[in-house]
């Protein structure tokens, strides 16, 4: 027997009150010798035994009534109690954990299937009496009450459940739904909540919201049973990480991929992994994996076709299939469209910054950058419609239409590189910076004498400097002499300002080094980079060191490209969204199995000129590569077909199937909650949890009977003794 309110047992000493009162009320007599009383004493001795038995019976009835009243307040429960004793139909609220870990199978039966079958058996036993009520709540991506009221409807809804989901389970939300349901059942006997779960650590350890939800349930006087349906052996090998060196690359470039595979079990396992590009295998790995260990693999692939490409890693299947594969999406382009804005040199004059940058960036038709050159006075919004990056190569003053076009370009996610040379300083750039609400102080050109200034790396993690993480190539950038430069001083209060390079001068302290390259994220969107030492023969010798200048400029331009159309990967339960430059007229979505279904697309354009956000699905329900065929409306009225892809992945925490430690549960579970069972057996059916009947109503009825019997007996004895 267990108690739902064991703290009431502290009142058990109150059962001694009738005895104490009886002793206090015993009359004390003075002995006075009297001859006539001798006859009465002899008569009393003959009836004394009967009177003692009658008093003892009254005392027993009173004590038992108080004792059972205290026990009833503690709400005792017992297993396998016939309903004739409980005196009322039972109400049962079933909560089924539907998280990914519940898909783990032992003996061909998943934990979710065991939970469903045991819940059905418990439902048949606990609410079989006429008038019993029931409810069913599932803890999937979203907690959902599937049925409530009639036990037959609840049982039908229960048997319709076939499998758990592929993501996290909102167990805390399910318990809140159970609490709200229990409030509607309080007009009868307090309902019982039975939670069928595998007690996976990810849901029950740390700052889990499950424990406060249980506390709120038990505070209502509701008893809660936790039924462990997880298998005793929970081995699992999963792909927990799968990442790419870059999200966007030019066709033919090499893409570096990194995978991490972990063995969560207690046995060594031989793991075979295969990497696929759009379904075609391009690499294979095989390695033994020790218990509770992980292995990292690297792969290389060079996509030859442009578009959104899906890269996937698959390993051999085990008892949990859903996490044996992981995908990501990269965007492959023919070339990055770049608009170079600057004035070329006049005949007979030295080359300008625009000439120097064009020599590095514009390498022909098959180059990774597709460069279109525009003079500053002719820059318009039409020139930037299809551009990803704009390079302002010492353009001088910018007119109002050019500033407006750049603001709109940044607003839709574009990147702008401003090369500050002899013709462009604070005065020329002030209208653009003021319109963007960006505060960076641009100094006048500073000339240095030998030894000349050099560049120093301030942010080695910036993607534009990845080539120079190798100490062998770093001098190609940091040891080039700089005779003249423009110092930059970003606003210290601007958290978005990122100093990437600094000027290093002989004898000057490091804390006084001016910034050479600053990246800022304007409030309206996009990315802006100010560079105070662009290649210019009049200022520096970068043109003489193409082995360092070329990769730096290329990587800087690539770092400024807008984010890809779709994210690299989204977790199960997240929406499927894409950023488009044209509005779609039709979208057909296909799940990982290839099944097509109509979707209601959601378009969002917050300002004119921004990219369009397409929401193809509110919540992705399963992992794998989802595809969509979209038709985009061109400005001339024609339609452009575009293939979209999303990689949906499982939560890595769900792959660790190990249950929470019993000590953690014992310490954190509130009173009134108990754990039933210790997991399922491989291939064997465990008995369903026993019915825990609430005996409080039965005890209250017995208390009423005892008080009634005591009252009638006391009245009868009092009347007879007075005769």
CATH number assigned to the domain comprising residue 632: 2.60.40.1220
| Mean pLDDT to the nearest integer, 360-386 | 90
Give the integer Cα–Cα distance in Å for 437 and 365. Answer: 37
Domain of residue 594: give its range: 574-647
**Shared domain check, 538 and 518:** yes
Question: Within a domain: residue 266?
Answer: yes
pLDDT in tens, 69-79: 777 777 676 55
3-state secondary structure (DSSP) of residue 267: coil
Residue 212 has pLDDT above 50, yes or no: yes
Number of domain units in the chain:
5
Confidence at 309, pLDDT banded by 50, 70, 90 = very high
What pLDDT does 23 receive? 66
**Shared domain check, 582 and 709:** no
Confidence at 282, pLDDT banded by 50, 70, 90 = very high
pLDDT in tens, 608-627: 345 678 888 889 999 999 99
Residue 26 has pLDDT above 70, yes or no: no
Give the integer Cα–Cα distance in Å for 177 and 452. Answer: 71
Confidence at 132, pLDDT banded by 50, 70, 90 = confident
Question: Within a domain: residue 96?
Answer: yes
Give the lowest-confidence range in 23-27, 106-110, 258-262, 696-700.
23-27
**Shared domain check, 481 and 355:** yes
**Last residue of some domain: 273, 305, 333?**
333
Confidence at 2, pLDDT banded by 50, 70, 90 = low
**Shared domain check, 506 and 432:** yes
> Which residues contact residue 101 at a Cβ distance below 8 angstroms, ignoring those fewer than 6 apart?
111, 164, 198, 200, 202, 230, 320, 654, 655, 657
What pLDDT does 239 receive? 97
Residue 52 has pLDDT above 80, yes or no: no
Question: Within a domain: residue 662?
Answer: yes
Judging by DSSP bridges, how do beta strands 484-485 and 446-447 pair with one another?
antiparallel
Residue 604 has pLDDT above 80, yes or no: no
Phi, psi for residue 576 in degrees, rounded to 5? -100, 110
Residue 518 has pLDDT above 90, yes or no: yes
Question: Within a domain: residue 568?
Answer: no
**Shared domain check, 204 and 280:** no
**Closest residue by Cα to residue 325 from 248, 200, 237:** 237
**Shared domain check, 535 and 523:** yes
Tokens 């996509």 locate to 303
Strands, E assignment, 307-394: 307-315, 325-333, 336-341, 369-374, 389-393
**Shared domain check, 289 and 359:** no
**Closest residue by Cα to residue 378 from 407, 402, 354, 346:** 402
Q: What is the CA radius of gyration of the chain?
A: 39
Looking at beta carbons, which pairs linking 253-256 to residues 24 or more positions away fall under 8 Å?
253/302, 253/303, 253/368, 254/300, 254/301, 254/302, 255/300, 255/301, 255/302, 255/303, 255/311, 255/330, 256/298, 256/299, 256/300
Q: Which residues pair with 597 in a beta bridge?
A: 589
What pLDDT does 10 receive? 67
What pLDDT does 687 receive? 46
**Shared domain check, 244 and 201:** no
Counting residues of the chain whose pLDDT is more than 70, the rounded percentage is: 85
**Shared domain check, 253 and 200:** no
**Shared domain check, 411 and 453:** yes
* Tokens encoding 183: 């409030």
Give the integer Cα–Cα distance in Å for 184 and 136. Answer: 14
First to last CA, the chain: 48
Give the lowest-confidence range in 16-20, 35-39, 705-709.
35-39
For the chain, what is the mean pLDDT?
85
Which domain CATH number covers 287? Answer: 2.60.40.10
Confidence at 252, pLDDT banded by 50, 70, 90 = confident
Confidence at 83, pLDDT banded by 50, 70, 90 = very low
Tokens 């209601």 locate to 600
Give the integer Cα–Cα distance in Å for 631 and 647. Answer: 21
**Shared domain check, 209 and 268:** no
| Mean pLDDT to the nearest integer, 445-463 | 91
What pLDDT does 542 receive? 95
Which domain CATH number covers 479? Answer: 3.40.50.880
Residue 268 has pLDDT above 50, yes or no: yes
């Amino acid at each position: 027997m267990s108690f739902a309110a064991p703290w009431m047992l502290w009142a058990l000493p109150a059962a001694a009150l009738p005895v104490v009162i009886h002793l206090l009320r015993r009359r004390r007599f003075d002995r006075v010798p009297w001859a006539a009383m001798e006859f009465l004493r002899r008569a009393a001795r003959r009836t004394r035994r009967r009177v003692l038995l009658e008093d003892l019976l009254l005392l027993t009835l009173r004590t038992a009534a108080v004792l059972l009243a205290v026990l009833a307040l503690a709400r005792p429960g017992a297993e396998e109690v016939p309903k004739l004793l409980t005196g009322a139909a039972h109400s049962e609220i079933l909560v089924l954990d539907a998280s990914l870990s519940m898909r783990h199978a032992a003996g061909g039966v998943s934990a979710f299937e065991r939970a469903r079958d045991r819940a059905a058996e418990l439902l048949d036993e606990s609410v079989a009496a006429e008038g019993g009520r029931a409810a069913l709540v599932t803890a999937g991506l979203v907690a959902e009450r599937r049925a409530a009221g009639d036990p037959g409807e609840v049982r039908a809804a229960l048997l319709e459940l076939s499998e758990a989901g592929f993501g996290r389970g909102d167990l805390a939300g399910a318990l809140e739904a159970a609490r709200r349901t229990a409030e509607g059942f309080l007009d009868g006997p307090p309902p019982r909540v039975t939670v069928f779960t595998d007690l996976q650590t990810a849901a029950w350890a740390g700052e889990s919201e499950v424990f406060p939800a249980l506390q709120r349930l038990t505070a209502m006087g509701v008893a809660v049973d936790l039924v462990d349906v997880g298998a005793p052996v929970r081995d699992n090998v999963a792909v927990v990480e799968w990442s790419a060196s870059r999200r966007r690359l030019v066709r033919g470039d090499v893409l570096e991929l990194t995978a991490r595979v972990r063995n969560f079990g207690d046995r060594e396992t031989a793991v075979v992994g295969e990497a696929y590009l759009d379904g075609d295998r391009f690499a294979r790995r095989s390695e033994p994996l020790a218990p509770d260990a992980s292995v990292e693999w690297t792969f290389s692939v060079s996509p030859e076709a442009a578009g959104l490409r899906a890269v996937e890693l698959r390993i051999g299947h085990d008892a949990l299939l859903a996490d044996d594969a992981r995908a990501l999406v990269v965007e492959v382009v023919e070339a990055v469209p770049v608009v170079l804005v600057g004035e070329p040199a006049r005949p007979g004059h030295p080359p300008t910054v625009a000439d120097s940058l064009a020599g590095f960036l514009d390498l022909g038709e098959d180059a990774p950058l597709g460069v279109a050159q525009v003079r500053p006075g002719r820059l318009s919004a039409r020139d930037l419609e299809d551009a990803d990056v704009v390079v302002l190569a010492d353009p001088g003053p910018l007119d109002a239409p050019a500033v407006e076009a750049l603001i709109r370009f940044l607003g839709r996610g574009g990147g702008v590189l401003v090369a500050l040379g002899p013709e462009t300083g604070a005065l020329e750039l002030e209208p653009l910076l003021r319109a963007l609400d960006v505060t960076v102080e641009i100094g006048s050109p500073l000339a240095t004498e030998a030894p000349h200034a050099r560049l120093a790396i301030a942010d080695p993690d910036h993607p534009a400097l990845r080539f120079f993480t190798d100490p062998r190539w770093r001098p190609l950038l940091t040891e080039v002499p700089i005779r003249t430069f423009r110092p930059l001083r970003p606003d210290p209060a601007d958290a978005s300002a990122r100093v990437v390079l600094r000027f290093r001068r002989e004898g000057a302290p490091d804390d006084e080094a001016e910034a050479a390259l600053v990246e800022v994220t304007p409030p309206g969107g996009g990315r802006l980079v100010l560079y105070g030492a662009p290649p210019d023969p009049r200022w520096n010798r970068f043109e003489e060191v193409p082995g360092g200048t070329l990769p730096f400029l290329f990587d800087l331009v690539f770092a400024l490209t807008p984010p890809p159309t779709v994210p690299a990967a989204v977790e199960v339960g997240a929406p499927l969204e894409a950023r488009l430059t044209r509005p779609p007229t039709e979208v057909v979505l296909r799940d990982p199995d290839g099944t097509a279904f109509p979707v209601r697309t959601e378009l969002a354009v917050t300002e004119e000129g921004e990219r369009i956000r397409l929401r193809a699905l509110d919540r992705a329900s399963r992992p794998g590569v989802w595809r969509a065929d979209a038709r985009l409306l061109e400005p001339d009225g024609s339609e452009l077909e575009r293939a979209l892809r999303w990689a949906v992945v499982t939560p890595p925490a769900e792959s660790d199937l190990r249950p929470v430690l019993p000590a953690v549960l014992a310490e954190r579970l509130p009173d009134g909650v108990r754990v039933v069972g210790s997991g399922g057996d491989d291939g064997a059916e465990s008995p369903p949890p026993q019915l825990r009947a609430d005996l409080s109503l039965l005890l209250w009825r017995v208390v009423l009977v005892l008080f009634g019997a005591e009252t009638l007996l006391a009245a009868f004895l009092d009347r007879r003794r007075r005769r």
